[in-house]
Structures are given as structure tokens and as C-alpha cells.
Chain A
Amino acid sequence: MGYTTYASFGLPTFLVIIVALYLLFTDSGEAFDVGRFLEETSPFVWGSLGIGLCIGLSVLGAGWGIFLTGASILGGGVRTPRISTKNLISIIFCEVVAIYGVIMGIVYSSKLQTVPEAQLYTRDNYFTGYALFFGGLTVGFCNLLCGLCVGIAGSTAALADAADPTLFVKVLVVEVFGSVLGLFGLIIGLLMIGNAKEFLPGSPAVSAIRI
């Protein structure tokens, strides 16, 4: 077993076991309470995390795809300069993935409104918070994988085009299908927050946290 295996699997497991045993032996096992965690965490946390993941993962996917394709276009373009203009389409497909992330980020952030702490914890606000988090996660992961797919297909398209110009349009069809994945993520992300209202203050009686 190498050092990286020990560090990445052994150390966190060890720490988790130590903390769990500490809670157990000092009679504070009830401090580990998932339900209370979900009730006490502010919906703003979930919402902001979701938006951050949405745009972050989308841009990661787009950037990854662009460097994959770009390196191959540069290499192939040394001997065959004609490929450099046509293959910018692959870069555009990757960029579109980042644009999806930006659109969803803008749509989601319209739900974030200021609400005083005492009136924050209503059922609707919980729902909006969770919907924003998981919607953002969905969109982010879809765009990450879409960007990777378009990037690798684009790299192959560039090298195939350099070898034989008739191949370009055929490999481009593969890329188009790949970029549709990002669109699917966008649609599902919109559906997930379809029923979520923005953060609204509730009446103080039902919206304060019970400690």
C-alpha cells in the first residue's frame, strides 16, 4: 500500500472513528443528529452552495473540454493550418456548456432574497433551499461531463480532420450529440426549481428554530 492510499483512505477513516468513539464514550452520542442538522442549517447555505456548484462545475467542464481540444488543434495545425478555423466549432460547443451554467446561475440567484433570521425557517424556504442545491448539483455535473465529452470528441475531430478533410463533418455529428447532454441538464435544472418560490419571510410563530 502506497503512502497516498494511507493518506487518502486511512487518515480520514481514523479521524472519523476517533470522533465517533469520543461522542460515544462521553455520553454525548445524541449530538450526532442528522435531523437537527437539516433543520438548523440555513436554507441560504443550501441555495448558495447549489449556485456555486452549478457555475463552478460547469466552468470546470467547459475549461477542461477547451484545453483538450485546443492542444490537439494547435498540434495538428502546425502541419495542416487549414484545420484551425473549422475546428473552432468544437471550442464553441465547449463554451456553450459554460453558458448553460451561467444561465442557470442567474435563474437560481433570482430566488435569493433577504429574510430576517427569525422568519427564515418555513417549509417553503426549506424546499427552495434544497431545490437550489440539488438543481445546481445536477446542472453542474451534467455540464462537467458534457464538457469532457465534447472536449475528447473535439480533439479526435481535429486530428482526424488534419489527416483527411472528409472526416470532419462526420465526427462533428458525434460532438453535437455530446453537447445535447448539457442541454438535458439545463432542462432538468429548470424543472427542479419550477415550483420553488423565492425566499419569503414567514410568520414568526412557525418560522423560528426550535432549539
Chain B
Amino acid sequence: MEGLFFNVNNGFLEGIVRGYKSGTLTQSHYASLTQCETLEDFKTQLSATDYGNFLANEPSPLSTATIADKATQTLVDQFNFLRSNSVEPLSKFLDYITYGYMIDNVVLLITGTLHERDTHELLERCHPLGIFDTMPALCVATNVEELYQSVLVETPLAPYFRDCLSAADLDDMNIEIIRNTVYKAYLEDFYNYVSTIGSTTAEVMHSILAFEADRRTINITINSFDTELTKEQRAKLFPAIGRLFPAADDIDQVRQVCENVGEYRSFFDNSASAQSNGDLGDFGVAAQLEDRFFRMEVHLNKLAFLQQFQYGVFYSYVKLKEQEIRNITWIAECIAQDARDRIHDFISIF
């Protein structure tokens, strides 16, 4: 039944977003990009794709940071076009996508202020999709209470921060706890919102968000192995929408918990072959795990495009474009640093 009324408000934008998606780089594009010798070649190759002349006004020599910034700017422009042409409930859905970036920006600003960095430098490093009006005022706050009362209460992030008010002061450890608590509240809120929109959107987004929750759960568990975070404190940071509830002390127990869920079983495979390649240790396993997470995320996001008349395509497009920007940045870095043996270490999308 969703097909009957979806196109009234959202048919045009769904067509636009699918058009954007058909312009993402394919295997053949990546093949020609990896064969570039210099960043100028890279720029020429990219101008033949949907990116067009996004680097046209940049003075040479190009830096990879410029390429990444300009590519992110094309994503932001596309997203703003979609956002300004949308109506409820799509506009609220698109806003929810930006909240994740807003949380990252807020945490970045707090951490930067703690370490006494320059305000302008911090503001430039914020992700453009997560910018909100009162962001510069965040730099003057010194504890969470003041932060909340003066700045956050007017932003859409206010309900997520309410649970953190008990954190007494800011230090590096507590910042991560704050970030994870707020992100957990955001994921659960997004999950609940998506359940109210419609059955197809809910179906598609539930699987994507549940995976995101599980990924954060695994990351929190692994990262807190050697810290003084107790199991109860850790459990409070896990979003309630995932499928994993690990109570683990080391990486083998995490593997056992993951094997209960079919799709995650392969995340920890091949550890034997990894160790035979040299002593990668825990760091190597973590990097491999991160890679597997990205692959799974790309796979789930691609699946969202197989259904019509739902909002998941908008979310998936943003995430896939981000992955593409990461890929381009990786290839550009490999070219710039002349490390061509690892140039194929990206995750191709289509």
C-alpha cells in the first residue's frame, strides 16, 4: 500500500536520489583511477565522472585534503538539494541523518576546547552535514551542565544529552562515554521514528540500524578491554536495538558471541591466516574487523536500493557516497605518497 501514496510527495526526490546513485563510481572507474600517476591525472579522470569539475578552481599542486573536502562538499550540496525540496515526513528523516554528524561535531568541539585549540580551526574541521547555528558557542563551555543549559537545549540533540547530565566534569575518558551514550540515544530514537513511518522503510532501516548498533557494541567492547570500564558501565553504552549483548573479557569471547548471529560469524574468520602473515597482533585484527564492518555496511546499503517507495534509499545513498569519498581519498593518498602496493585496499561499491 505504500506504493499508492509515496509518489505524491516523494516520487520526484526518489528519482533524483536514484539518479545520484547511478553516478557513483564503478569498478571500471576505480581501475582507471588506480592507474593514475599523479594527482593531476586523478583530477582529469574524476572530471569525466559525475564529480565533474569540482576541482577546477583549485590551484595546483593539489593536496589530498583538498580533494576530500571538495568531494564532501559535492555530497553536502546534493544532500541540501534533497533536504530543501522535501516535506514531512521525509524532511524529518533527512534531519535524523544529520544528527549523527552533529553529535560527532559537538564531541569534536568539546575535546578541542579541552585541549585549548583554536576555535576557528576546530570549526573548520567539523563535518559540514552536522553544522547547526549555535556551534561556535560550544567552545566556551567548561562542563556538561553549562553546555546543556546554554547551547544544546535548543538543538535537536537536547533529548539525547539529558542522560549525560550526571557526568560531573569533562575529561578525555568521559568524553568518549558521553559520545557513546548520546549516540546510543540517537540510534534508538531513529529506530523508533523509522518504525512509525511505514512498513517498508521500517524493514529496510531496521536491518541497517541494527547492524550499526552491533558494530558500535563490538567496538565499545573491544576498545574497553584494558580500561577501567566495568561490565555494567559498558552495558549501559550498548544500544538496545542490536542483536548482540556481549559480556566479554577478551577477543575470543567476543568471537563466540558473534558466532551466534549468522552474518557476523565471518567477521572473525581468517584470524589464523592473518597471524601467519606476520605478527599482526590485536591491532591487525582490529583493522581487519573494521574493514569487514565497512564491507557489511556497504552490502546492507546496496540492498536498500532494491526496494522502491521507501526512505531507506536516502540514508543509504549518503552512507555509500561517504564510502566512495573515503575510497577516493585513500587512492589519492596512495598516489601522493607513492605507496602503490596498498592502493587496492578500498571497498568498491558497484
Contact = CB atoms under 8 A, between A and B. Distances in A.
Nearest to B50: A79
Contacts of B23: 79
A75 B15 contact: yes
Contacts of B18: 75-76, 159, 162-163
A79 B19 contact: yes
A80 B23 CA distance: 10
Interface in B1-34: 3-4, 7-8, 11-16, 18-20, 22-23
Interface stretch (A9-17, A65-73, A105-113, A185-193): A65-73
Chain A binding surface, main DSSP class: helix
B19 A76 contact: yes
B111 interface: no
Contact of B15 (A64, A78, A148, A152): A78
Chain B binding surface, main DSSP class: helix
A75 B308 contact: no
A205 to B, nearest CB: 53
A75 B14 contact: yes
A72 B14 contact: yes
Q: In which size bucket is the chain A interface? A: 20 to 34
* Most A CB within 10 A of own CB, among B4, B8, B19, B20: B19
A79 B7 contact: no
Nearest to A67: B7
Given A162-B18, A162-B22, A74 B3 contact: no
B22 A78 contact: no
A75 B4 contact: no
Contacts of B15: 71-78, 158-159, 162
A156 B308 contact: yes
Contact of A80 (B4, B22, B308): B22
Given A74-B12, A75-B16, A79-B16, 6 more contacts: A72-B15, A75-B15, A76-B19, A79-B23, A162-B22, A163-B18
15 contacts: A67-B7, A68-B7, A68-B11, A71-B8, A75-B13, A75-B15, A78-B15, A79-B23, A148-B4, A152-B4, A155-B308, A158-B15, A162-B19, A162-B22, A163-B18
